[in-house]
Structure 1
């Protein structure tokens, strides 16, 4: 009887351990499939995190929000309401301290407030790539961004019900993985 109870306990624990990552994958896929996709203008920088591997850190133009409201605190959770500007890129419509009832939004953190502007930290600021490609992506982007009149590089981010999913980074109208391969040829 003791062996049977141990087996049942093992099965329950195994199912629970499988459920958590499967639920996370399902939620991410739902955002990817059903979320509204926005283009965030960006500039990548390439750090190395020994625990997470190689990735491209993304800095966004939209992270700097002009405001005269001085009630913002450092490291505060805020809700960023998003809309498209007249060029088709994401821009901040408004920043709220309470969760909005409608529209596309996501949760971010305030970094600091300086007279006339608020600096934010977006939750989708890392784009993971194959370890050998991340440094090459940074070099290729640096060359691209210093060329005369380059097209804006941007991140494609799906947003649904306050959740985000970084789909891709686009450089010269190509996914960054393809752009890196082309630059190596």
Structure 2
């Protein structure tokens, strides 16, 4: 009888270990398939962490918003309600400390860095783009070089957003996905 219970418990644990990652994958695929795509302009940064692998670390030009609220504190959640600028890039329409139910605007949850002189500064949650190890260094070099010409060809990240969740799907250099751009060089 004890063996039967142990086998049942083992089966349940194995099932949970399959269901949890599968649900995370399904959630991200749902966002990629049905989320709204925004282009976020990027800024240059550092690309490697020996513990998690090869990646491009992304900074964004969109990192602050005017706010008269002076009680923002570091690591507070901030809800960023999005729109697009004249060139089609992501822009912030408004910010809030709490999720608003009075709007249908897409939003993303970020973390506050600090508030200073009428602005709140924050970190966007999609700042790491993982690459195939063999292409990561070339991608980093191409990304850094392209940051010098952000007017003609702005480098940007494609981010799918749905119900406050965001998935970074690609980084674009000179209107070409970074994986393809690196392969051409």
Deviation at 1:149, TM superposition (A): 4.8
Structure 1: gaps of 5 or more residues: none
Of 161, 164, 167, the match for 1:165 = 167
Tell me if the contact between 2:78 and 2:96 (Cα under 8 Å) persists in the aligned partners: yes
- Deviation of residue 76 (structure 1)? 1.2
| Secondary structure of 1:152 counterpart | coil
The root-mean-square deviation of aligned C-alpha atoms, in Å, is 1.6
Q: Map residues 17-36 of structure 1 onto 2, 5 A cutoff.
A: 17-36=17-36
For this pair of structures, how many residues does the alignment match? Answer: 183
For residues 148 and 44 of structure 2, what CA distance do their matches in structure 1 show? 13
Does the 8 Å CA contact 2:47/2:140 hold for their aligned counterparts?
no
Matches within 5 A, 1:1-185: 1-101=1-101, 102-147=104-149, 149-183=151-185
Q: Deviations over 1:4-27 (max 9, x none)?
A: 222111111111111100010111
CA distance in 1, matches of 2:78, 2:66: 15
The list of structure 1 runs, each at least 4 consecutive aligned residues, that deviate by more than 6 angstroms after superposition, is none
Q: TM-score, normalised by structure 1?
A: 0.92
- Structure 2 Cα separation of the partners of residues 4 and 182 of structure 1: 58
Closer/same/farther in 2, CA of residues 14 and 136 from structure 1, 3 Å limit: same
Q: CA deviation at 1:47?
A: 3.0
SS at the partner of 1:88? coil
Preserved CA contact (<8 Å) 2:146 2:155: no
Determine the C-alpha separation between the residues in 2 that align with 1:160 and 1:177.
25
Structure 2 portions without partners, runs of 5+: none
Structure 1 contact 44–56 (Cα < 8 Å) conserved: no
CA contact (8 A) 1:46 1:134 kept: no
Cα distance change on mapping 1:53 and 1:92 into 2, 3 Å = same
After TM superposition, give the deviation of residue 125 of structure 1 in Å.
0.6
